[in-house]
Amino acid sequence: MSSVSAAWDQRYREGSDGWELGRPAPPLEVFLRSDPRSPRPPARVLVPGCGRGHEVALLAELGFEVLGLDFSGEALAEARRLHGPERPALQWLQADLFDAQALTAAGLGPASLEGVVEHTCFCAIDPALRPAYLARMHQLLVPGGWLLALFWCHPRPGGPPWGSDPAALEQHLRGAGFLPELWEPARGSVDARQDEWLGLWRREP
Ligand SMILES: C[S@@+](CC[C@H](N)C(=O)[O-])C[C@H]1O[C@@H](n2cnc3c(N)ncnc32)[C@H](O)[C@@H]1O
């Protein structure tokens, strides 16, 4: 176990988990349930840094084949308690998203996914690792695969949660080989996160 994952375990144990919503993020849930532009099943989808797994459970309910990944054993124990153990359409995986060997061993090789749903994982990782994060998502997705993301674009220094600038993030995503189908301020965010942006990005074919 790395010191970074141990620190996240500790946050879950202590209950110092101020990011926890207790449900899927409202802008993502509304988009997935009712927006005509939303991707539809069948699709194999990853939720990196899934925490207690609320988006994972929603995606499974909507008919996607979904994999919730987190390197915190505490988070995944909670996810299993809340949403049930593995079943064909819902899998939990304890692994570091930067550990290519562990991901490949778990069936997450290049072009093994049609979709990724991102919610407060990007803002949780060290900004120096953001290029590696986007490269990993690009590698995991099939050409034309989608990244549905709710990015927390707050301007405050420090983190986690580390902030982002929407224009700089757009350039970063384009540079990493993603094209926007949707990139706009999110609607319906919880009060404490009024600076979220919702994006539906496609891996360049
Ligand atoms: C701020 S929490 C968000 C959890 C969940 N997405 C939510 O919105 O409730 C960030 C999560 O990412 C996980 N995480 C951070 N870095 C990771 C990495 N390199 N590999 C796997 N999980 C990671 C943490 O353990 C934590 O559960």
For 76-101, write each residue's pLDDT tens digit. Answer: 999 999 999 899 999 999 999 999 99
Whole-number pLDDT of residue 2 = 84
Tell me: cis bond preceding 127? Omega within 30 of 0 counts: no
Residue 162 DSSP class: P
Residue 38 DSSP class: S
Tokens 């490269």 correspond to: 135
pLDDT, one tens digit per residue, over 130-152 is 999 999 999 999 999 999 999 99
| Helices and strands (DSSP H and E) totals, the chain | 7, 7
Q: Does any ligand 1 atom lie closer than 6 A to the CB of residue 162?
A: no
Identity of the residue numbered 120: T
Alpha helix positions (H), 84-165: 100-105, 130-140
Q: For residue 63, give both structure tokens.
A: 């008919």
Phi, psi of 115 (to 5 degrees): -150, 160
Q: Does any ligand 1 atom lie closer than 6 A to the CB of residue 97?
A: yes
Q: For residue 188, give both structure tokens.
A: 């319906």
Q: What does DSSP say about strands 196-203 and 178-185: parallel, antiparallel, or unpaired?
A: antiparallel
Q: Which atom of ligand 1 is found nearest the CA of 97? A: 20
Please state the rounded mean pLDDT for residues 183-205: 96
Q: How far away, in angstroms, is 175 Cα from ligand 1 center?
A: 24
Question: pTM to 2 decimals?
Answer: 0.98
Q: How far away, in angstroms, is 168 Cα from ligand 1 center?
A: 22
Q: Does any ligand 1 atom lie closer than 6 A to the CB of residue 108?
A: no
Q: Does any ligand 1 atom lie closer than 6 A to the CB of residue 50?
A: yes
pLDDT, one tens digit per residue, over 28-65 is 999 999 999 999 999 999 999 999 999 999 999 999 99
CA–CA gap between residue 12 and residue 74 (Å, rounded): 6
Mean pLDDT of the chain: 97
Q: Does any ligand 1 atom lie closer than 6 A to the CB of residue 129?
A: no
The reply to whether CATH 3.40.50.150 applies to domain 3-203 is: yes
Q: How far away, in angstroms, is 2 Cα from ligand 1 center?
A: 14
Alpha helix positions (H), the chain: 3-14, 26-34, 54-61, 73-83, 100-105, 130-140, 166-175
Q: Alpha carbon 25 to chain centroid distance? A: 11
Q: For residue 85, give both structure tokens.
A: 């153990």
Domain ranges of the chain: 3-203
